[in-house]
Amino acid sequence: MITGTLRQPGKVTMLQKCMLLFLGCFFLGVFLANFSLHDEALWIGFLHENQVRQFAGAEDVEHAEALLKTILLQRGLPWMILLIALCFRFGCAVCAIWFGWLGLSGGFVFAALLGRYGFSGIGQMGILGFPQVAAYAAAYIFLLVLMEAGKRVRQERRNAHLLQNKPDLKAQALLIVLFLLDTGIYGAGIWLEYWVNPWILLHTAVVG
């Protein structure tokens, strides 16, 4: 069964590995933005202002369609690629690379906004990612938990094959349902980024 998958003392789970990788790359991004790529970090700060101003036309049909395409390309496409990659043996490596990139880019943008606005840049980044980041984070954490569960299910299936027993189809079906549920959580993040976040940006003094 899927339950109890993570209760293996002494074993480092995929969740722990990716969280450590994310944090390490986040601080690396902060370092690069402050020292090696300072000019690029300033450019990111100006880009943030332009992005917020573009939301002013979000109610226009043309701008709304362009915004939706951008969100689907930047959020939806990587998620689908990640899910497909997890069907293969190299899926864990792809997942680790993606979490490293999320940490690196997040740290870089954080340092860029901090350099552009000072400590108020922390609030700027919070507003820019509210509330969709919470849904994305929940989906990614749930995905890592499901990856550990998937390893357990595959191991049990191999054991059943060796012992010539009938595999536990209920556990496999439940795992598929949970992956679909997780995709729904991530899809909710896309919806929040498209509908809710622009409204928050327009009604908050983001650009000084």
78-89 pLDDT, tens digit each:
999 999 998 888
Q: Which of 8-22, 24-38, 180-194 has the highest mean pLDDT?
A: 180-194
Q: In the prediction, which pLDDT does 44 show? A: 55
Give the pLDDT mean for 24-49: 72
- Which is nearest to 146 in space by CA: 18, 6, 10, 8? 6
Distances (CA, A) of 127 to 84, 177, 189: 31, 33, 15
Q: Which of 40-49, 84-93, 119-128, 199-208 has the lowest mean pLDDT?
A: 40-49
pTM, entire model: 0.81
Cα–Cα distance measured from residue 185 to residue 180, given in angstroms and rounded to the nearest whole number:
9
Q: In the prediction, which pLDDT does 189 show? A: 96
* SS percent in the chain: helix, strand, coil, step 5: 80, 0, 20
Cα–Cα distance measured from residue 1 to residue 75, given in angstroms and rounded to the nearest whole number:
32
Q: Which of 9-13, 31-35, 44-48, 65-69 has the lowest mean pLDDT?
A: 44-48
DSSP 57: G
The answer, yes or no, to whether the previous bond of 78 is cis (omega within 30 of 0) is no
Give the pLDDT mean for 74-103: 92
Q: In the prediction, which pLDDT does 142 show? A: 96
How many alpha carbons fall within 13 Å on the CB side of residue 174? 11
| pLDDT above 70 coverage of the chain, percent | 75
Reading the block at residue 49, the tokens are 């202002």
Residue 50 or residue 25, greater confidence: 25
Mean pLDDT of the chain: 80
Q: In the prediction, which pLDDT does 100 show? A: 96
Quickly state the pLDDT bin for 42 (edges 50, 70, 90): low
Q: In the prediction, which pLDDT does 173 show? A: 86
